[in-house]
Amino acid sequence: MNPSKPDYGIDAPGAIRNLLLIGPALFLLAHFVPVLTIGPVIFPLRPTAIGSGTVCLFEGVAMLLYAKFGKFSHRDRMLARIAWTGNETVLDVGTGRGLLMIGAAKKLTSGKAVGIDIWSKADLSGNAREKTMGNVELEGVSARVEVKSDDATAMTFPDATFDVVLSNLCLHNIPSREGRDRACHEIFRVLKPGGKAIISDFKKTANYMAAFRSAGATASRSGLDFLHTFPPLRIVEVVKPSTP
């Protein structure tokens, strides 16, 4: 690894590892145990094992390609949904290694980008505040960035703090529907009137939209992006009304 180059980690490293191990294991199973006999019944294992192994390998490789390459273009598509002026105050919920936060900071002149996380290494390889700050230094945005340990379901920011809130592949990691709804309501709370949130995920996005709408926001979402992301992601766009 080049220490002078930012490292934004591998998303869902455990899932990728398991898929890349299970795929070859199923191919071996198909080779050595082509059929399974239980009493008088014979089950042909080979086609099932080969098919399942192929799917596992495809998904593992596709997730790895997204983690190494695709997430950069996906970040750019998310950021392109904001009409940047350069003076925005931005929050990245579940910042991880800072990909979205740093991308936003590069759009700013007098503004500031804040990233929060609980630093789960199950969700992102090497997820740690010091790794994020290392990327911030390498990307040259230290003067416009702040990184905090904070919980998306109970943020410590005052109401109406941010012009823009961003989040990618974070909210689905909150285990309960109640917790995910709280996170959506917190995002709405910390948005300034007229502010916009851009939330991306591969599941639960209909629930996010319902939570934002129940808080009083307008919300819409894109279709699944099968071309650039894996698993295919949707983008939820949320706008807080300018007046109560």
Looking at residue 242, what DSSP letter applies?
Answer: S
Residue that is written with structure tokens 């990728």 in the block: 16
User: Quick one: pLDDT band at residue 3, thresholds 50, 70, 90?
Assistant: low
Question: Tens of pLDDT along 51-83?
Answer: 999 999 999 999 999 999 999 999 999 999 999
- Give the CATH class of 84-239: alpha beta
Residue 30 corresponds to which tokens in the numbers above? 């198909």
Residue that is written with structure tokens 């198909």 in the block: 30
Q: Where are the alpha helices (DSSP H) in 33-144?
A: 45-65, 71-79, 99-105, 129-139
Report d(CA 51, CA 47) in Å as an integer.
Answer: 6
**Sign of the dihedral through C-alpha 67, 69, 72, 76:** negative
Report d(CA 202, CA 165) in Å as an integer.
Answer: 18
Question: Tens of pLDDT along 125-173?
Answer: 989 999 999 999 999 999 999 999 999 999 999 999 999 999 999 999 9
Report d(CA 158, CA 150) in Å as an integer.
Answer: 13
Distances (CA, A) of 201 to 85, 119, 188, 231, 236: 26, 18, 17, 9, 8
Residue that is written with structure tokens 């869902």 in the block: 12
Indicate the domain borders of the chain. 13-72, 84-239
